Amino acid sequence: MASMKDVARMADVSISTVSRVISNTIPVDPGTRRRVERAIKSTGYKPNLMARGLRIKSANLVGMLVPEIRTTSFSTLIEFVEESVEALGYNLLLGGTGGDPDREERFFENLTRRHIDGIIVSLVSDRSHLMRLIDRTDVPVVIVDRPFDRKDLPTVVMDNFRAGQMAGEHLLSLGHEKFACVTGDRDITIVRARLDGFRDALGKSGIALDENAITEGHFQYESGVKGVDTLLDRGVKFTALWAQNDISAIGALNRLRERGYRVPGDISLMGLDNVDDSWMARPALTTIAQPYKEIAAAAAELLLKLSRKEDIEETRIVLQPSLVIRESTGPVSS
């Protein structure tokens, strides 16, 4: 592989001149520039990113950390983040933690040693061990999808309160009056926000959501299954069920039918996320769509602004959800 030296020799200039035409920041004589450019082309020279990185202390690399890579909501986010950073000329270093604090720690440490330009993080719980790592490190971090309670951390999220409202409003518009809800862990900020929004919408129609009609889960398939069992066993009467994410909604869907309920005939069901699983389900799931692509793009942009120390108007970006009506919700049966 050709180095700057080779190019310099070939164009009969010093290596600093080569560096200058590449960085294109300091004026270079047009004639010399042409010579250098030809030399670059003919040698196929590409700057060595490690050498440059060592010098300028930036690796042209952004990191992303998620609890699980193959969970659809995360893999969707990863896909769009990769797309966004690659479009901005960066590469993506991906890490999964499996919830293991040691792996989280190793990831942060390794990335720091690599002069990473920034890290995008998605979290499971507000209690996360990650908090300390984030506070301790001096590379920019932006939280996506599942932010902490803390307002001071750069964040890109969907408007979860609004999402809850939309779920409520849709169900209400179908004539439902008896509701139930399967939530995520209630110590997660967004879970509470979603629930508050849902209640807010119901409240405007004079309907209160009893604590009894809520079951707490973990955004997993099993959460939906168990949620339905719990609700039914408690004897809660409902014609509309909102599971706070699609995967748990699918669990609920399957369990509901196993227990003899038709969806949406007897019970209308909706989810949140709009991951691929939601349209593949039968009945196809009515859901609230997360603007994944926009979240990813905004996160990448925010992160890189942060790493360039540009001054930022707002480090907390909130994006709007949208309603996707499919087959799992319908008018209340009389």
**Encoded amino acid at 168, one letter:** G
> Left if phi > 0, otherwise alpha if psi is -120 to 50, otherwise beta: which for 12?
left
Separation in Å, CA 127 to CA 16, 132, 218: 50, 10, 14
Which of a second copy, DNA, none interacts with 91 (beta carbon under 5 to 8 A by kind)? a second copy
Region from 17-25, 130-138, 218-226, 274-282 binding DNA, contact rule CB under 7 A: 17-25
**Encoded amino acid at 299, one letter:** A
Could you say whether residue 20 binds DNA (CB under 7 A)? yes
Residue number, 28 or 284, with CB nearest to DNA: 28
137 contacts 303 by C-beta, under 8 angstroms = no
Residue number, 68 or 266, with CB nearest to a second copy: 68
Q: Could you tell me the two tokens for 331?
A: 């008018």
Starting at the earlier edge strand, list the strands of the sheet with 240-243.
214-216, 179-183, 240-243, 268-273, 286-289, 322-324
DSSP 3-state of 320: coil
Residue number, 20 or 146, with CB nearest to DNA: 20
Q: What letter does residue 333 receive in the DSSP assignment?
A: P
Least distance in Å: CB of 57 to a second copy?
A: 8
Region from 17-25, 104-112, 206-214, 235-243 binding a second copy, contact rule CB under 8 A: 104-112
Q: What letter does residue 96 receive in the DSSP assignment?
A: E
Contacts of 259 (CB under 8 A, 6+ apart): 228, 229, 232
Q: Interaction with DNA in 26-65: which residues (CB under 7 A)?
A: 26-29, 31-33, 45, 47-48, 51-52, 54-56
Q: Which residues here bind a second copy, judged by CB under 8 A? A: 1, 46-51, 53-54, 59, 61, 68-70, 72, 75-76, 78-79, 82-83, 86, 91-96, 98, 103, 106-107, 109-115, 221, 247, 250-251, 254, 257, 276-277, 280, 282
Q: Which residues here bind DNA, judged by CB under 7 A? A: 1, 3-5, 12-17, 19-20, 22-23, 25-29, 31-33, 45, 47-48, 51-52, 54-56
